[in-house]
Amino acid sequence: MPFKGIVRELKGIRGNIENKSRRRDERKCVLGRGTSHIAPEMSPSPCSWIQQSRWANLPPELLIDILRRVEARETLWPARRDVVACAAVCRTWREMTKEVVRTPEQCGLLTFPMSLKQPGPRDSPIQCFIKRERATSTYQLYLGLSPVLSGDGSKLLLAARKIRRATNTDFLISLVADDFSRASDTYVGKLRSNFLGTKFVIYDSQPPCDFTIQSNGRSHRKIFSKKVPPRVPVGNHNVATISYELNILRTRGPRRMKCTMHLIPVSAIQEGGTAPTPATFGDCLDEKLFLLSDMNGKNQELSSTCLAEPLDSISNTGDPLVLKNKAPRWHEQLQCWCLNFKGRVTVASVKNFQLVAAVDASQNVPAAELEKVILQFGKIGKDIFTMDYRYPLSAFQAFAICLSSFDTKPACE
């Protein structure tokens, strides 16, 4: 069978799974309208059905060769969805696909949702753009150079909704543009500001793998673990802090910001250093909570409030990485502050910025790393902004930092 035929048949299998799942949901909806009833026996799940197909029994050598070919040829969205289709065939295909598909740091591509929380590539940035919807107070992050160049092929990565409160402002971040509920599986995290808009905190919905990041402990659902690793409730786990300098008299020029990345150590940008790279949502934490639950042979009662203090038994990541905005220069002819965005920003705005590492000389960071622009954000049109990020930031962290620029800052400009 030719290679294109294999891909078409995989798409057909995925379509059959979706149709069966849709019909089963419709039957449940009809049954749920009446009075109480005895539930019929469950039909075989799509996973069990597909595990019996011929595709689940391919020799490992042939399977790994097919997946490598799909991975090598599908380098752009939306064609990259074929790689995701391969991972949806069955458990065997999913595990093989995880081994073949590399992280954004290694290949510069975003494939699975987990890629949004993994560091970007080292050599060249991932180029994205943000669309602002003023009527709904929403912000959508797309993969691509710009709406004009990407067109309908743009891939939605993340979306955020701005919610104003009496004492602060929240930006709820989700994987989809129409569901920002914390109870949803698509909820990723949020950005919260103080009253003046001078300080922001990035909260992740899932705890970090190193277990050293603080949580505000708002969730009070308790977790009990005896033999099975517990499921971690969605919470607010502080992964970064953004602060803007006060400029009430407006004598200091453009905005000055500083980002403290609690999850990324300074060693990540040192020679041979690496940044934390989660593999899947919550997996590494589940294992650690399982070990903690049986500590000293006793079952402990765990809640999200137990994450409020770092555990000394987990390895210390060292000093956190600090980012600062690159100082612009004053252009005498244009009579404005200027930065070299290399053509990615075309409209002057107070929101435009570039972030670089702010480290001491004693931390042995190569000079080339200090010159690299880790994140840049700027305006290219009405309600259209570009966002380019690279290692060691992830798409989620970069998007949250850019969202802080949209909030009103009466004391900073």
Rounded CA gap, 369 and 299, in Å?
46
Rounded CA gap, 174 and 30, in Å?
30
pTM score, whole prediction: 0.75
Q: Residue 122's pLDDT band (boundaries 50, 70, 90)?
A: very high
DSSP, collapsed to helix, strand or coil, labels residue 284 as: helix
R_g over Cα of the chain: 24
Domain ranges (residues) in the chain? 3-101, 126-404
Q: What is the pLDDT of residues 46-100, one digit of tens each?
A: 444 444 566 777 888 888 888 888 888 777 766 777 888 888 888 888 888 888 8
Task: For residue 81, give the H/E element and its range.
Answer: helix 81-87
Rounded CA gap, 382 and 331, in Å?
24
Q: Residue 38's pLDDT band (boundaries 50, 70, 90)?
A: very low
> What is the CATH code of the structural domain delimited by 126-404?
3.20.90.10
Q: How far apart, in Å, are the Cα atoms of 191 and each of 127, 250, 278, 310?
A: 22, 26, 20, 21
- Lowest-pLDDT range, 6-10, 69-73, 409-413? 409-413
Say if residues 365 and 350 touch (Cβ distance below 8 Å). no
Q: What is the pLDDT of residues 341-352, one digit of tens each?
A: 888 999 988 899
CA neighbor of 130 nearest in space, from 392, 389, 374: 389
